[in-house]
Amino acid sequence: MSNAAVKRDTIAARRAGGAPDERARRRQLIVEAAVRTIEEHGTDTGLGTVADRAGLPRPHVYRHFASKDDLDQAVARHAARLLSAWIRPSLSAPGALPEVVHGVIGQVLSWAVEHPNLYRFRARLGTPQAVAELTDAAVANLRAAGREAHLPAYAVASVIGMVDAGIIWWFDHRDEVDLHQLNDWLAAQVWRVVADVVT
């Protein structure tokens, strides 16, 4: 066996080794360190900075993540879960459907304002699981309001993309439109999509 093959086997064994609970705890520690670093320093934070924040030597990060991309995807999923938890209560808020949509967009905007770097990071990498979760929540809300809807995944993905693009544009052009105007406009556009599939 070549030295490279032995090295790969050793790395694989180290990654696979350890108690599952401890490995999961260490992975979460690294993800949370990456989140804090992104929040403070922006979306192009280096792996060395993340490792320092986690209190680990840089090579130890690779015991828990196959690559920087693997870590980035874990951070994006974590950010998506944080955003989802933040907006989830507004998905089932009482009121007319356009008002509910307006409230949901308002919640997304408030989270983005509070976490601009993390929002950019999540939006840049995409979070496909958000499509399914938002589709299910929207359909459940519509049914609770006595309406039926079939929300195609491509429509929900398009709405998410539009909202993300609008918010990221606003980060760089805050002096051109205020947050309330952006909320009104985005909510109106999202409602047009939703209204098209509501019966």
Residue 11 has what pLDDT? 54
Confidence of residue 13 (pLDDT cuts 50, 70, 90): very low
**Is pLDDT larger for residue 194 or for residue 118?**
118
pLDDT at 8 > cutoff 60? no
- Tell me the CATH architecture of domain 3-66: Orthogonal Bundle (1.10)
Q: Tell me: pLDDT of 7 over 60.
A: no
Q: How confident is the model at residue 135 (pLDDT cuts 50, 70, 90)?
A: confident
pLDDT at 6: 43
What confidence category does residue 2 fall into, taking pLDDT thresholds of 50, 70 and 90?
low
Mean pLDDT of the chain: 85
In whole angstroms, what is the distance from residue 132 CA to residue 81 CA? Answer: 13
Closest CA to 65 of 10, 28, 40, 118: 28
Q: 14 pLDDT band (50/70/90 cuts)?
A: low
pLDDT at 70 over 50: yes
Q: Measuring CA to CA, which residue among 193, 180, 183 is closest to residue 102? A: 183
| pLDDT tens-digit series, residues 24-49 | 898 999 999 999 999 999 988 888 89
pLDDT tens digits, residue range 162-173?
A: 999 999 999 999
Most confident of the ranges 24-38, 51-65, 91-105? 24-38
Residue extents of the structural domains in the chain: 3-66, 77-197
List 159's β-bridge partners, or say none.
none
Q: Three-state SS for 43? A: coil
**Among 17-26, 59-68, 150-159, 177-186, whose mean pLDDT is lowest?**
17-26
Give the E-state strand segments of the chain in sequence order: none
Cβ–Cβ under 8 Å, residues 82 and 36: no
Question: The whole model's pTM is what?
Answer: 0.81
Average of per-residue pLDDT across 144-155: 79
